[in-house]
Amino acid sequence: MLRRRSTLGFFMALPLIVVLGALVVYPAGYSLYLSTLNKSMQRFVGVSNFTFLFTRDTFWMVVRQSVIFAVTAVFFKAVIGFCVAHFVHNTPTRGQRKWRGMLLVPWVIPPAMSTLAWLWLFDPSYSAFNWLLQRFGIEAIPWLGDPYWARFAVILVNVWFGAPFFMIMYLAALKSVPEQLYEAAAIDGANWWQKLWYVTLPMMRGIIAVTVLFSLIVTFANFDIVRVLTAGGPIDQTHVFATWAFKVGIEGNDIPLGACVSLFMLPILGAAAVVILRDVGRRGAEA
Partner 1 sequence: MYPADGPPDKALADRWTWDAFLDAARKCHKAGFPFGIGFGTTADSVDSAGAMFAAFGAALVDRKGSIAVDSDATRAVLDYAKRLAAVMPPDVFAWDDASNNKWLISGKGALIMNPPSAWAVAKRDNPKVAEQLWTFPAPRGPKGRYQPGLNYFWGIWKFSRNKAAAKSLLAFLSQRSSVERLVVASGGFDMPPFAGLRDLGIWSQVAPPKGTLRHYPPSGDQIVSVSGMPAPPAIGVQIYTQAIMTKMIAKFVQAGDSASKVVAWATSELEGLMRT
Task: Provide the total of helices (H) and of strands (E) in the chain, helices listed first.
Answer: 14, 0
113 vs 274 by CB, closer to partner 1: 113
Report whether 154 contacts 162 (CB < 8 A): no
Exactly one of 150, 171, 212, 240 binds partner 1 (CB under 8 A); that residue is 150
- Residue 77 Cβ vs partner 1, minimum distance, rounded to whole Å: 25
Residues 44-83: x/- map of binding to partner 1 (CB under 8 A)? --------x---xxx-------------------------
Q: Between 126 and 197, name the residue whose CB sits nearer to partner 1.
A: 126
> What is d(CA 184, CA 18) in angstroms, rounded to the nearest whole number?
50
Among 17-25, 110-118, 210-218, 246-254, which window interacts with partner 1 (CB under 8 A)? 246-254
Smallest distance, Å, CB 159 to partner 1?
20
| Residue 196 and residue 174 in contact, taking contact as beta carbons nearer than 8 Å | no
Q: How far is the CB of 152 from partner 1 (least distance, A)?
A: 13
Binding flag, residue 233, partner 1 (CB under 8 A): yes
What whole-number distance in Å separates Cα of residue 71 and Cα of residue 156? 13
Among candidate residues 110, 94, 213, 231, the one with its CA nearest the CA of residue 161: 110
Per CB under 8 A, the segment of 83-91, 107-115, 146-154, 157-165 that binds partner 1 is 146-154
Do residues 129 and 143 touch, judged by C-beta distance below 8 A?
yes
- Does residue number 252 form part of the binding site for partner 1 (CB under 8 A)? yes
Binding to partner 1 by residue 100, rule CB under 8 A? no
230 interacts with partner 1 by CB under 8 A: yes
How big is the chain, counted in residues? 287
CA 48 – CA 132 distance, rounded (Å): 52
Half-sphere exposure of 62 (CA within 13 A, CB side): 29
By CB under 8 A, name the binding residues for partner 1: 38-40, 52, 56-58, 123-126, 142, 144-147, 150, 230-236, 247, 251-254, 257
